[in-house]
Amino acid sequence: MSSRTSLTSQPITIRRAVARDARRLTRLVRGSSAYEGKYAAAVAGYRVGPDYIEAHRVFAAVGTDKQGDRVLGFYSLVLAPPELDLLFVADEAQGRGIGRLLVAHMQSEARVAGLDRVKVVSHLPAEDFYHRVGAVRIGTALANPPAVLWDRPEFEFRVPSE
């Protein structure tokens, strides 16, 4: 059975990430096919460390398979200034609504924290995704050499109060 097939039937839960998730989250970032080729330098030495997980609101989408719990995606919400700092879904789990689920969870967490807007600087290949999940384009983040050699679209999620 392929991992694609097994992912469709497993329930997905979102939980707060803990320090022991750091390696798995780092592997997810570095292994993302969205960061291959000219984009590879942006994540080559990237590390999601236990200190980062403790300092920010980091949540993981987890599925259970025969090997146990499997991190399928995650996001990080920074409160000051309000920003969706990281959002990754494992390549083999994309197209199953996990990114949309993570964004909805992020918006709920932002609402609880009293935020009405959350900014995100998008990776170019993720621009369409952010449009589809309701983010509004507000500008362009300029290149930041040597790690990021290209301009990136800047979006904002408006967080409605309930």
pLDDT at 72: 96
Neighbouring residues of 11: CB distance < 8 A, sequence distance ≥ 6: 63, 64
pLDDT at 41: 85
Q: Shortest CA distance to 61 belongs to which of 98, 23, 33? A: 98
Q: Which 8-state DSSP code applies to residue 135?
A: -
Whether 34 has a pLDDT exceeding 50, the answer reads yes
Between 39 and 154, the higher pLDDT residue: 154
Whether 4 has a pLDDT exceeding 80, the answer reads no
pLDDT tens per residue across span 45-85? 999 999 999 999 999 999 987 777 899 999 999 999 999 99
Q: How confident is the model at residue 2 (pLDDT cuts 50, 70, 90)?
A: very low
